[in-house]
Structure 1
Amino acid sequence: MTDETMALRGLLEKSAEASFLREMIGFAAHRLMELDAEGACGAGHGERSADRVN
């Protein structure tokens, strides 16, 4: 594990707002993955599109 990852993990474990930060990071990661998948497919989740490639 990198030093930056270990430092972030240590900060999250020590912080009183650790659960809030985990939620924020999880939300951001999930949204970034959704946007990447939408870009690759040519349409959003559940969206009908003639340009959709999957």
Structure 2
Amino acid sequence: MTANTSIDPAVFLHDQLAQASPDLMRDLLTTFINALLSAQADSVCGAEYGTRSPDRTNSRNGYRHRDLD
């Protein structure tokens, strides 16, 4: 008889989070928030970071990732 190779994503995620370090959620949130901030800056500027575009309305000066306290 063959083993069941199907994985329930919700159970898998729950198991991984239960075994993870406490800093995992902080790291996930930091990555997510920085991605949102970068996307917001891209939309305000009219172009992605580091690209030249005739549609660009302004520039991104000094953008950096920030750690959560």
TM over 0.5: yes
CA radius of gyration, larger in: 2
Q: Under a length normalisation based on structure 1, what TM-score does the superposition of the two structures give?
A: 0.67
Q: Structure 1: which 5+ runs fail to align?
A: 1-15
Distance of 1:27 and 1:48 partners within structure 2: 25
Aligned CA RMSD, in angstroms, stands at: 1.0
| Amino-acid identity (%) | 33
Query: Shift of residue 17 of structure 1?
Result: 2.4
Which stretches of structure 1, 4 residues or more, deviate above 6 A after TM superposition?
none
Q: Structure 2: which 5+ runs fail to align?
A: 1-19, 59-69
Instruction: Specify which structure has the bigger relative contact order, considering alpha-carbon pairs within 8 angstroms and separated by 6 or more residues.
Output: 2
How many residue pairs get aligned? The number is 39
